[in-house]
Amino acid sequence: MKIFSNKKNSPVLLFLGVILLLVTLFRIYPADADESRPSTASKLSREEILRLGERMYREGILPSGEPMKAVVKGDIPVAGTAFTCVSCHLRSGLGSVEGGVITPPTNGKNLYQPLASLHKYYAVAAAPPVRPAYTDKTLADALRAGIDPRGRKLNDVMPRYMLDDKDMAILIAYLKSLSSDFSPGVTDDAIRFATVVTDDASTGDRDAMVTSIEKYFTYKNNLAKYYETNRGRRSARMAESMLLSPEVIYKRLLLSRWQLEGPAETWRSQLEEYYRKEPVFALLGGISKKEWRPVHQFCEEHHVPCILPITDFPVISEKDWYTLYFSKGIYQEGEAAARYLNSIADGLNDEAIVEVLRDSPEGRALSKGFQETWIGLGHKPVVSVTLKDGEVLTRESLKRILISEKPSSLIVWDGPAALPELEALAGSANRPARVFASSTYLREGMWAVKGEARDFVYFTYPFRLPQDEAKYTGMVESFMGIRNFKGDELIILKRVYSAVQVLSQVLMGMNGNYYRDYLLDLFGMTMSTSGMGLWERDEIYPLYPRFSFGPGQRYASKGCYVVQLSKGPKPELVKKSDWVIH
Amino acid sequence: MPPHRLFALLTLFLLLAIVFPAKVEAAEAREKYKKTVENYVIPDVTLVDQNGAKVKLRTLLASKKVVMVDFIFTTCTTICPVLSAGFANFQRKIGPDLKDVHLVSISIDPENDTPARLRDYLKRYDAKPGWDFLTGNRKDIKKVLDAFGAYTIDKMYHMPLALLHSSRDSRWVRIYGLVGTSDLVAEYRELAGQ
């Protein structure tokens, strides 16, 4: 545009500029562009249009397969592959607030009605101005030229997209379909959840999980009763007026227990049957000792959120959307061992590393976490020895490995049965400099490691250290009103506490927009219940030193300590690494 | 339900309502960015770059080149994509000066941002050599954010900042706001004395 304002430009340049502008305008806004005229897009099936539109919205790819092109901040060209609609407006299209920028909703339902204001609190914070409803024509103007229906300029953080009529029609069709009807499982006065428990988990663990959620739901539903009883009174009105979403306080939370029996291969049909009978808004919690994959896949295919199930075996994926996990489970311990060894790699001088793993779900997950991470860090795979089911790690077999491979680091992904052999290494001439094991796999056995072995045995420990955890226990017990849980049940209570804390914040943030993708969008944007300036917002949860999602993140806890046992009859864990090792 | 629990819940819900939108700032109203000149003391920390290499931040920032720093994270929504598209376009527009300027992005979500994720991110923005992305220990990152007056309690509230430094002057130019490439190039040229 500078070409027109700069008087030093020659008339020839000016003429060329005008021609170029006319050509561009003609191409982008053909004279016969008319909403009623059937576009090429209409020759496609509706399904195909929505699929192509979704790809534009989420991946920034045009129907032609080329990246979408746009300009932000006036002069920064961007390709859709770098960022696109979903980056700011999020998967649900309900928008976001981040880094001081308010991104308004862009789903058809909101676009095609007047925008009053996003929320009364935003009004004091310069929210996008009110506007009349968009039409197809004015929406196309907004997307191409950044002009709203009143002719005002949109914030130039909003990209101006170069789209022809055909592609524009496809994108607009998609926006109209986006978050158009509330997701199933929500009625005027209730939101229904289910929790999945499998019969391999102990009765005690299953009951602890379900009881904890029910306890919280009872609190929440009593709160709804309180508001209903006092509806219209001054105190209730005052409290309501301060809420981001007064609507949610009148909603009851309902919980169904979906118990899965028998082999994991049969879970899917049982889930389908439960879901057919009783569609739920989301799955909450859940517990299994087996791999979570069948439930994970059910959720992906039915687009049902699954909020923080209790499992050591989550699905490890960078792309899947519907299940939010506490962590990568036991896989994350293998990852931590690899990162720790990488962090001291300079001192290892390419000395050998050997991994012994049991052919069990735990052993395989630990090994996968270790090897994938180790190779990802640019190293060669380490020598791996597998113990078959029922095979015991003996002194002899261990000695053979140590003599032939001479490792300076030995990793043993096995249960408590391997501990005597690890301890016996103390007196061995072939003892490696360090031995790694998983605290989750060893369970209580970890604390039994004695004497000299404490000098060279390292454990992966995926929780806050016990000596730092006590105050969180009291906080959880007090909030949940449950004080008689011990051991595994207490850990379950703490996990449920974290799940319902974040859920309550997210439900409040939804402000009556009951779309499942929005629920997940908000989990990504939501850190914790309270900053208070005392702690970091993600440091107030039990079990994990830090617990937070970010947009699109699916594993809340990213860390795992490498620890050793201190000397003495009552050993403590001593950190040998950061929570997250780089 | 015991009254103290009801109270705790009420407090919680009220708190959420207040805390959530309180930090929202008036981006719509701000047309131009805010520029100040600042003195910063760079903390003596070692971070990790996109290749997994350890980097002493003081040494890196004491470069003879013009250094331009921003704070982003790989899964960030609105402002990081704009900042990063800005860095990428700056590299394309700066011409032969590309070799004289070092862009340094520092992750404010270091626990999720592994070197591999940093590499993927730079690739997504088609970064040229001379643009590094650092992660590290969270305490060290906090020290860096504190030193540059860029710390926020929640990564979702982080600031649209670009910090420029030339070896000709000990001071830093702080740009608050999302800027277009022509403005960024102009700021660079001014600092570089061109």
Give the DSSP letter string of A153-215.
BPPTTS-EE---HHHHHHHHHHHHHTT-SPPTTB-SSEEEEEEEEETTS-HHHHHHHHHHHHH
Q: Which residues of A touch B158 (CB under 8 A)?
A: 99
The verdict on a CB contact (< 8 Å) between B1 and A219 is yes
Residue A225: its H or E element: helix A203-229
Asked if residues B72 and B155 have their Cβ atoms less than 8 Å apart, the reply is no
**Record: contact B78-A551, CB cut-off 8 A:** no
B113 — pLDDT class (breaks 50, 70, 90): very high
Q: From the CA atom positions of chain A, what is the Rg in Å?
A: 29
Contact B156 A242 (CB under 8 A): no
Across the interface, whether the CB atoms of B21 and A126 are under 8 A apart is answered: no
**Cβ-based neighbour number of residue A279 at 10 Å:** 15
Please indicate if any CB of chain B lies within 8 Å of the CB of A224: no
Report residue A345's pLDDT band, with 50, 70 and 90 as the boundaries: confident
Helix (H, G, I), strand (E, B) or coil at A140: helix
- Annotate A118-137 with DSSP letters as a single string: S-HHHHTTTPPPPB----HH
Helix (H/G/I), strand (E/B), else coil: A378? coil
- Residue A445 token pair: 């056995």
Average pLDDT across chain A, whole number:
88
Tokens (6 digits) for A13:
């340049």
Region A195-221: mean pLDDT is: 96
The pLDDT tens digits for A91-147 are: 999 988 776 678 889 999 999 999 876 554 444 445 566 889 999 999 999 999 999
| CA nearest neighbour of A74 among A164, A161, A160 | A160
Q: What pLDDT is recorded for position A205?
A: 97
Distance CA A27, CA A24 (A): 5
**Backbone phi, psi, residue A544, to 5°:** -110, 130
pLDDT at A33: 37
Nearest to A82 among B15, B73, B81 (CB): B81
Tokens encoding A262: 């028998």
Closest CB to B78: pick one of A98, A239, A529.
A98
Residue A320, beta-bridge partner list: none
Reported as a single tens digit per residue, the pLDDT across A456-496 is: 999 999 999 999 999 899 999 999 999 999 999 999 999 99
Look at A550 and B82 and tell me if their CB atoms are within 8 Å: no
**A483 contacts on B by Cβ (under 8 Å):** none
Q: What is the ipTM of this complex?
A: 0.87
Residue A35's pLDDT band (boundaries 50, 70, 90)? very low
A101 touches chain B (CB under 8 A): yes
Say which range, A290-294, A509-513, B84-88, B172-176, has the weakest mean pLDDT. Answer: A509-513
